[in-house]
Structure 1
Amino acid sequence: MNKIAKPAAEVDPITLQVIRGAFETIAEEMGHVLYRMSFSSIIRESQDLGAGLFDLNFNTLCESESTPMHIGSIPAYLRGIAETLEDGEWREGDVVVHNHPYYGSSHTPDLAIVVPVFLQGRLIGFAGNTAHHVDIGAATPGLIIDVPDVFAEGMLFAGTKLYRGGEPNGAIWNYIRRNSRAAQQLIADIEAQVASARLGARRFVELIERYGEETVFAAANQLMNYAERMMRQKIEAIPDGDYTAEGWLDDDGRNREQRLKVKVTVRVRGDGLEVDLTGSADQTPTAYNVPFEGSTKVAAYAAFRKLLLDTATSESRVPSNEGSFRPITVTAPLGSIYNPRFPASAEARFTQCNRMIDLIIRALAPVMPETVIAGSSASISFAAYSGVRPSGDYWVFLEVNEGAYGGRPRSDGPDSIDNLMANTRNNPLEDLAMHLPMICDRYELRDDMPAGAGEFRGGIGVVKAQRMLQPGFITHESERHTDAPWGIFGGTEGSVGRCTIRAADGTEREMPSKFSGLAVGEGEVMTYYSPNGGGYGDPLNRPALKVLDDVLDGFCSVERAREVYGVIVDTESETVDMLATEQARDRIRAAR
C-alpha cells in the first residue's frame, strides 16, 4: 500500500472539523455569489460553474457543490497559468483569466478567474472559479462543433491578467467587449466571477488570521490525506484485475457515417487504479475532442468519487478535495479523441466524458454488482439558439436538456435529470419567454419509446420542443442516437435519443445528434428526445403492481407489460390478473 505522508503537526479533531466546515462554507459562498450575480441563464439558472480554494501546489482544498467538471479541472488551469502567466509573477490585486485547452482548461467557453491569496505580503494560495459563458466569439454563436482547429473556438486566454496589482487591464477588457456576440452578458458574468474569487481570497485570509497559518494548512493536509485514505480503502476492496468495456459515439459532427469507438480499461492493483483509454478513436478533424488535462482526467476522478465515495451510500462523508484524486491515474494515447494534438479543436467534449464514465461503470459491473447502475443516457443535449434582433444586436441562449439514469440495485433510474458528469439545472420557461424570441411548445417525460425493462426499470428521458419566433440559428451537441443505454443483470437496454426539426408548414425531418449553425426560419421547432436508461435485473422479478403503475402512468404499454414483464393488466378495472401473471412468467422463464 502507498504510504501517505503525515503533516508536520496534527490538528485536534474538533478544530479539524471546524476548519473543514469553514472550507466548505467558503466554497459554497463563492459559488452562491457567482450564480446570484451573473446575468446569463447558463450560470444564473443552470449553475454551470464551480468554485474553490487551492494551495501553492494547486491542490484543491475545497470545492462548491456544483458541476463536477468545473471543480476538478481548476488545478489543471492553475498548472497552465503557471506556464503562461503574464509578467511571469503574481502580485497582490492580480486577477487572471484563463481558458486555453492546451494549457489545462476544460474547454474554451469555461473561463477560469483566479485570484492570488497573499498573507502579509506572501503568496499562500489561490481562490478560483470557472463558469460556462454564452459566447466567446467562436465560429458559430454559443457552441461550436464543425470547425478546423482551436483558433476557431473564439478568444483564447492563457495566464492573461484582467487586473494588474489591482488596476484593470483596459486593453483586455475592451478586447473582450469587442469580440463577443453577447458582450454585455459576458462582461457582467466575468465581473461576477471576479467578485466570487475575491470573496474567496478574503475568506481564506480571515480563516488563517483566526486559526493561524500552520494550523489551517495542517488541517488541509489532514483532510486531503483522509480523503485519499478513504478512496484507497474503497479501491482495495475491488478485486485486482483488468476490467474493459466498449461503446460507440455517433459521429464527429461532420463525417456522419463514421462512428467513434470508446474503449475503457480499468486496471485495479491494490489500493490504486488506472483508467486506460487506449483503443478509443483517433482525434477528429472537428471540435469533437477532449482536452486531456482539463477534462479527460477530471471525468475519471468524478467517476470514482461517484462510485466509491457517494455521500448517500458511504458510512461517512468524505470531504471533496485533492486527496480523492491521488490514487487514480489516467492514460490516453496522444493523438486520440481523449488526448488530441495541438492545434486540434476540443470544444465539444462533454458527451465523450459522460460515455467514458458510463463505460467505467459497465466495466466494473461484474465485481461491483451492488454499486453500479445500468446504462444512463450518458450524453448531454447542449443547444445554442441565436439570432439578430432588429436593432442589429445578437441574442444567444444556451440550454442544457435533461437525460435519465439507468436502473439501480434497489430502485428505478431517476427520470428526466442530468446524469453522471452533468448536474446543471433546467432553465425556467418563463425566463425564456420573457427575454428571448422563443417559446417552448412541449416539455415533458418522453412517451414515444420505453425505458429499459428490469426489476428496476431505467429512467425516462425528457422531450422538449422549442419554437423560434423569428429567424435564427441552432447548434446542437448531443449523443446516443445509435448506441442505446445498456441493460444489466438481465435488464433490457433503454432507448436511443432523437432530434427533429419541424418547419412552419408542419413537415418534419430527423436530425443527426450533432449539427452546427443550422439556419432556421420563423415558426420552426427543434424537438429533442433524450435517451431512456437501461434496466437493472430480471424484468420478471419486478413487482406486478409496479408494472401496473407504469402502465397506468403511460410509461409502459399493456403489450410490453405482458411480453417483457409477464404481467397481465386489465386497464378497465386498473388491476393485475395475478394468476395469469404467474402463468405468463412461468412460460417466459421456460422459453429462456
Structure 2
Amino acid sequence: MTRQFDPVKLSVLANAFDGIVREMTNGLLRSARSSVINTARDFSCAVLTADNQLLAAAEGVPVHVFGAGPLGEDMIELHDDIREGDAFLHNDPYRGNSHAADHCILVPVFVDGRHLFTAVTKAHQADCGDSLPTTFFATARDVYEEGALIFPCVRVQRDYVDNDDIVRMCRARIRVPDQWYGDYLASVGASRIAERRIKELAEKFGVDDLVDFVDAWFDYSERLAISAIEKLPEVELHGNTRHDPFPGTDPDGVPLQATISVKPKDGKITIDLRDNPDNLPNGLNLTRATATGAALAGILSGVPENLPSNAGTFRRIQVELREGCAVGVPKHPFSCSSGTTNLADRIVNVVQAAFSSIDDGYGAAEGASGQAPAKSVISGIDERNGNAYVNQILVGGVGGPATPFVDGWPTYQRPVCGALLYHDSVEVDEQRYPILVHERVLVADSGGAGRQRGGLGTRVTIEPRVDEVTLTYGIEGKLNPPKGVRGGHDGAEPHTWVEDLKTGERHDIPVVGRYDLKRGEKVVSITPGGGGYGSPFERDPEAVLLDVRDLRVSVDGARVNYGVVIDAGAVDVEATKRERSQRATA
C-alpha cells in the first residue's frame, strides 16, 4: 500500500461490496425462470478484481466461487479488446470453470475507461444440451458422450447488445429454450447490477480509494488468516475416503486422499491432492476450479476461526493439483459433468475430518451427499399442457456434518455447497411439474450419534401424474456413508426403491443412471445422514430427550446409541448413569 487506509472506510467498503453481491443475488433469484435457480438457489455471484482475485462473494456457494479467479484469467487471456458494454459466457471445465452446466456471465466493470473489477454470476442450468436430459451425467465416458454445449469464455454481448449467434446456438440445442433464455437474461441483469453499483461507489469514494481499498482488504484478510494458522500446531494431517463404485470406476470405488501440511511459523497451510487416481472414464472428474474450491471449503470448515472468503485469505492456503488427475486438472476429453458434486464432496469431507484429529474443537465430521431421486433431474412431456420440461428438483435434503459445537443441519444439501442451497417448495414443484410428493419427512436415528449429532436424512416419496417421468440420479454413500469423528458414529446410508401403488411390490433401481417412473409407481428416496462428532455418551441427556420428543431419535436409539434411558417421557437419571458406565467399561 502507498498509504495507511482508514479502518472505518475499510469496513464501509467491504460491506458495500458484500451488499453489491447480495443485490446481485436477490436480482437473479427473483428474475430467473428455472426452479433450480429461483427456488433451490443453485447459483452464486461474486466480484473479482481486474487482476482476477476474488474480492467479494457474500453467500456464494464454495464450489462456485472459491476457484473463481481463473474465470477472469480466461477472459483476459482470450480477449485483447475488452471494453465497457461487453459480457462473456463461460462454462468450459478445461479452462477456469466448474462444469458445463454452470453458465457464467462475466462483465468487466470500467470506470473512466479503466478496467477495475469483473462481475461474475454462475448459475447451474436446468439443461445445458447434454445428450441425456440431465446436467449431472456421471456415466458419460467422455465429453463427446456428455454432449453439452461448451463456451470457452465467448463474448455474448458487445455494447450491451446480445450476440444473437450465441443465443441461437443455445436455443437450438437446449430442450426448453425459453427457460434457458430467461435464466440467461437474469444472469446478465445480475452482473449489470454490480456494474452500476460499482460505478456509483467510484463516484462517491473515488477510483484511488477503491484501488487502495482492494490492497488493504486483502492485506487485512491475510493477516487474519496468518493469525488463525499461527494458533494451530505444526502438523501433517492425512485424510482418506472412498467414493462408492460407479460405472467407469473400480469395483471397490474410488480411493481418495489428502495430505495437509500446517506450518504455523510460516502462517501457511498446504493441501496436496496430487496422489489420487488418474482421470476416470466417466463424468466424476474434478476441474481446477472445483478441486481448489473443495479443498479451500474443507480448510475453512476445519479451522476454528471465521475467515473472510477472499483472495487475501487464500494467499495463505496452497492447493497442489496434478494434471490428468481425477481430483485435479482434467485432460480433455475426460468428462467433468459431475465435477461439482461427487468427488468434490468427498474432498471437502476428507479435509475437514482430517482437522478433527488435531484435538477436540477442530474440524468437523463428514457431511452427506449424492443425487438421490429426491434431488434428481426430472424430464419429460407434461401432458397437462403438452410442454417439455427438464429441471433438477431439490425436494429432499441430506444430513449435514456435526461440528465440535453444533448438530448437523438436515437441510445441508451437500458439502460443496456449505448449506447455502435451499429446499424446493413442494407446492411449487407440483404446480410446475407433473409429480405428486406424498411425503417429505426426517428419518429418526439417521444422523450419526455423537456429542453433537449428525444431521438427519430425509425420506421423500414421489409419484408421477402423467404416464411417465424420467429421473436421472446418482445415489452415493451406500457403501461408504459419511464418517463420524472423535468417537462420533457414521451417518446412515441411503436407500431407494420403486413401489407399485396397487400391490405394494418393491424393486430396487440401479445406483446411478436413468429411470422412467411410470404412472402407478412411486419412488421412495431416503437420503443419508451426516456423521457425528465426539462420543455419544458425552451428549447431554436432556438434549437426547429433546431429540426423542422431536422424533429425531427413537427411544431405542437413545438407549442403544447414547446410553440414555427414557421412561414415561423423561430421562431416568440413575438408569442412564448405569447404562453409560457399563457401556464405557465394556
Distance between the aligned counterparts of 2:535 and 2:354, measured in 1?
20
In structure 1, distance between residues paired with 2:355 and 2:53: 28
Q: CA deviation at 1:218?
A: 0.4
Q: 1:511 aligns to what?
A: 509
Q: In structure 2, how many angstroms separate the alpha carbons of the residues matched to 1:240 and 1:379?
A: 34
Q: Which runs of 5+ in 1 are unaligned?
A: 1-6
The C-alpha deviation readout for 1:532-559, integer Å capped at 9, x for no partner, is: 1222222222233333333344433443
Residue of structure 1 equivalent to 2:540:
543
Per the alignment, do residues 75 and 478 of structure 1 end up closer, same or farther by CA in structure 2, a change over 3 Å counting? farther
Amino acid at match of 1:285: P
Report how far residue 504 of structure 1 moved. 4.6
How far the C-alpha of 1:227 sits from its partner, in A, is 1.0
Map 1:534-573 onto structure 2 (within 5 A): 534-570=531-567, 573=568
Aligned residue in 1 for 2:337? 347
Q: CA RMSD in A?
A: 2.1
Tell me the equivalent position of 2:482. 485
* Mapping for residues 11-50 of structure 1, pairs under 5 Å: 11-50=5-44
Over 3 Å counting, the alpha-carbon distance change for 1:540 and 1:126 in structure 2 is closer
Query: Partners of 2:270 and 2:164 in 1: how far apart?
Result: 45
2:357–2:486 Cα contact (<8 Å) kept = no
Number of paired residues?
Answer: 572
- In structure 2, what is the Cα distance between the partners aligned to 1:524 and 1:90? 54
Of residues 102, 117, 134, the one that matches 1:142 is: 134
* Distance in 1, Cα, partners of 2:526 & 2:207: 52
Work out whether residues 489 and 531 of structure 2, in 8 Å CA contact, stay in contact via their aligned partners in 1: yes
Partner of 1:158, secondary structure, is: coil
Question: Is there any run of 5+ residues in structure 2 with no aligned partner, and where?
Answer: none
Partner of 1:189: 183
Give the deviation of 1:419 after TM superposition.
4.6
1:232 matched to which residue of 2?
226
Greater alpha carbon shift after TM alignment, 337-346 vs 59-68: 59-68
Equivalent residue, structure 2, for 1:475: 472
Q: State how 1:384-423 maps to structure 2 within 5 Å.
A: 384-390=377-383, 393-400=387-394, 401-422=396-417, 423=420
8 A contact 2:400–2:408 mirrored in 1: yes
Aligned 8 A contact 2:356 2:486 in 1: no
Q: CA shift at 1:379, angstroms? A: 4.5
Tell whether 2:263 aligns with 1:271. Answer: no
Q: Equivalent residue of 2:232, what SS?
A: coil
2:424 to 427, 430, 450: 427
Residue matched to 1:89: 81
Residues 450 and 160 (structure 1), Cα distance of their counterparts in 2 relative to 1, 3 Å cut: closer
| CA offsets 1:182-201 (integer angstroms, 9 cap, x no match) | 21110010001111111111
Quick one: distance in 1 between partners of 2:583 and 2:316?
Answer: 46
Question: Aligned equivalents of 2:324 and 2:90: distance in 1?
Answer: 24
Identity of aligned residues (%): 26
Name whichever of 497-506 and 119-128 sits farther off: 497-506
Distance between the aligned counterparts of 1:442 and 1:256, measured in 2?
Answer: 36
How far apart are residue 417 of structure 1 and its match? 2.6
The corresponding residue for 1:359 is: 350
Q: Deviations over 1:449-492 (max 9, x none)?
A: 54222222222111222222221311113421111222222222
Q: Which residue of 1 aligns with 2:276?
A: 280
CA distance in 1, matches of 2:359, 2:580: 28
One-letter amino acid of the structure 1 residue matched with residue 431 of structure 2: M
Matched, 1:303 2:298: yes
The C-alpha deviation readout for 1:92-140, integer Å capped at 9, x for no partner, is 2111101000011011111110112122223232112111111011011
Please tell me the residue identity of whatever aligns with 2:512: K
Cα-to-partner distance string for 1:387-440 (whole Å, 9 max, x where unaligned)? 024576420121233111233323332334335321200110111111111111
From 317, 327, 332, the equivalent of 1:338 is: 327
Tell me if structure 2 keeps the 8 A contact 1:111–1:130. Answer: yes
Aligned partner of 2:93 in structure 1 is 101
2:237 aligns with: 243
Tell me which amino acid in the other structure corresponds to 1:338: V
In structure 2, distance between residues paired with 1:89 and 1:120: 16
Q: Note closer, same or farther for the CA distance 1:309–1:216 as it changes in structure 2 (3 Å cut).
A: farther
Matched with 1:325 is: 314
Rate the CA distance shift 1:587–1:53 in 2: closer, same or farther, 3 A: closer
- Give 1:371's match in structure 2, choosing from 344, 362, 372: 362
Matched AA of 1:366: S
Distance 1:123 1:556, change over 3 A: closer
Structure 1 residue 383 and structure 2 residue 376: aligned?
yes
1:198 aligned residue (166, 175, 192): 192
Q: Which residue of 1 aligns with 2:461?
A: 465
For residue 86 of structure 2, what is the amino acid of its counterpart?
A: D
Question: Are 2:302 and 2:351, in contact at CA under 8 Å, matched by a contact in 1?
Answer: no
| Shift of residue 369, structure 1, vs aligned partner | 2.1
2:103 alignment partner in structure 1: 111
Does the CA contact (< 8 Å) of 1:504 and 1:522 recur in 2?
Answer: no
Structure 1 partner of 2:115: 123
Q: Distance in 1 between matches of 2:204 and 2:405?
A: 46
What CA distance in whole angstroms lies between the structure 1 residues aligned with 2:539 and 2:401? 15
Shift in CA distance, 512/244, structure 1 to aligned 2, threshold 3 Å: farther
3-state secondary structure, aligned to 2:4: coil
Equivalents in 2 of 1:136, 1:183: separation in Å? 10
Question: After superposition, what is the alpha-carbon deviation per residue over 1:256-279, rounded to whole angstroms, capped at 9, x for unaligned?
Answer: 834111111111123111111233
Amino acid at match of 2:89: V
Distance across 2 between alignment mates of 1:366 and 1:536: 11
- Give SS of 2:519's match: coil
TM superposition score normalised by structure 1: 0.91
CA positional deviation for 1:36: 0.9
Q: Residue 3 of structure 1 corresponds to which residue in structure 2?
A: none
1:326 maps to amino acid: R
Do the aligned partners of residues 64 and 477 (structure 1) sit closer, same or farther apart at CA in structure 2, a change above 3 Å counting? Answer: farther
CA distance in 2: counterparts of 1:378 and 1:328, whole angstroms: 25
Larger CA deviation: 198-207 vs 325-334: 325-334
Query: Is contact 1:380-1:403 (8 Å) kept?
Result: no
Report the Cα offset of residue 322 of structure 1.
1.4
